[in-house]
Structure 1
């Protein structure tokens, strides 16, 4: 008899119940029942036998959400300027630049998780970024990425969803040791065939525990996860935010970009990348 159903909130006893998951699928083979799990705050997907699971209470779910939300707020600090690029904020406040205006880049975000995509799209909107989002399973992203790039002509591309290191992994340098990293890497390669310039198309790719080195090698500006740790659902947005609101005349170091993320350099890494914000002058007196 199946103990848990799709939508139930659970945690894994073997990992000291450190992460709360949602059950997204149940597999029954002979007398063996296993569950496919999705992180509720982190971009990880995992499978688990029934005897390793424990039902999480609503109080535990709320407690973990509050803990994660606090980490988010520790990063963004100022609620009134949530996610807003510091450089652009300062320039808007400066009287010397009162006659300036600017153009932010466009983002195309392909996500294997519909719920997380919705969260990210709301965040893009809140920071003033024009973003197009499509729910595309990780395995399908390489097939569809050029079609969507051609349709939307973005300046920044995000390829994400869920990932994880497979059980009993003994070789972190093999793509076979990761659930979805090979799909992210292939999608990045296809995107680079469409646009080879790291300045003309900025790419963020990966999810929890992804094969960072291989995704960077494939052509990403930023990727996850250098230390194979979990990454927050909003980390892609926070990377985009920093790059999008930095002047195109400036190159950002990875250190500058990663200060803007929740999981930091253990969760996200990348290359020096040109900002994507274009200033203009003068503004029309009719605006």
Structure 2
């Protein structure tokens, strides 16, 4: 087996598919194919993922993508019906969905996310940023991108050497403190939970700490694993929910894999708007792009 191969763990019955990472002294670093999970295992405990397991994982991801698209299509259809009933459709109108800034500590998951943003027609800009660097990147990028929605995700976990009594300590988590610092940096830029909606966290993150820092939605209330695309699903729903509507938490989480065990949050207004009359509406750049981090002059957003 070589780095980059897809493998499963014999000791866990091959329940999850991992991408094989570096091997050091017989211990392999593993990255979840679908879940935002980092793990390690003895090399002798690993075997190649069979074609059936791989196809099942691909089919599951495709089903999730299709479900997200259907949900957003229903949102759009309801909005179009409202426009017809109000008589405004006769003169034409244009749509302005919320704009997303997505910082991800995993390049592979970022690529998947940006491809799905584009398919969902959610304007998004994505940056690969290692979790310890996220707070600085947030301070640099928010004044430049000026998004409606900020997604901060990557990898996290409960450190296996910590005991159960330490679950409320940030020291028990691999990256929860880094996500918390990034959320706090974002709230220095914009304190309004409706003017800047923040989705933060990854697998097993310290949910309470992220909400207290200022996130609208965060993982993980039950400290469970979350799917790689779950933060995107929430961001897309916020982007296409009308700005005069408050989203109910169960509805926001209905498209996620882990539901209320994996993600939670507070009531939040949507950021979608319509405009009139119908004109040619041209976004600068690509609808969804992956960018390398650049420095930018910091500042606070006026509200």
Q: TM-score range by the shorter chain?
A: 0.7 to 0.9
Which residue of structure 1 aligns with residue 239 of structure 2?
A: 244
Q: Is the 8 A contact 2:32 2:38 kept in 1?
A: yes
Which residue of structure 2 aligns with residue 280 of structure 1?
A: 275
Task: Give distance in 1, aligned partners of 2:74 and 2:201.
Answer: 26
Q: Is the 8 A contact 1:42 1:231 kept in 2?
A: yes
Shift in Å, 1:232: 1.2
Shift in Å, 1:227: 1.3
Unaligned runs of 5+ in 2: 283-303
Structural mapping, 1:88-107, within 5 Å:
88-93=76-81, 95-96=84-85, 97-98=88-89, 99-107=92-100
Whether 1:215 aligns to 2:210 is: yes
The equivalent position to 2:18 in structure 1, one of 18, 21, 26, is 21
Shift in Å, 1:17: 2.0
Secondary structure of 2:174's aligned partner? coil
Shift in Å, 1:251: 1.2
Which residue of structure 2 aligns with residue 178 of structure 1?
A: 173
The equivalent position to 1:12 in structure 2, one of 9, 21, 27, is 9
Structural mapping, 1:1-287, within 5 Å:
4-28=1-25, 33-70=26-63, 73=66, 75-76=67-68, 81-82=69-70, 84=72, 86-93=74-81, 95-96=84-85, 97-98=88-89, 99-170=92-163, 171-284=166-279
Secondary structure of 2:183's aligned partner? helix
**Deviation per residue, 1:74-96 (Å, 9 max, x gap):** x44xxxx4452533222224533
Change (3 A) 1:37 1:149: same
Q: Is the 8 A contact 1:85 1:242 kept in 2?
A: no
Shift in Å, 1:286: 11
Unaligned runs of 5+ in 1: none
Q: Which runs of 4+ in 1 moved over 6 A?
A: none
TM-score scaled by structure 1?
Answer: 0.88
Count of residue pairs brought into register by the alignment = 275
Task: Give distance in 2, aligned partners of 1:61 and 1:233.
Answer: 16
RMSD of aligned residue pairs (Cα, Å) = 2.2
* Structure with more contact order per residue of length (Cα contacts < 8 Å, sep ≥ 6): 2
Change (3 A) 1:13 1:200: same
Q: Is the 8 A contact 1:35 1:49 kept in 2?
A: yes
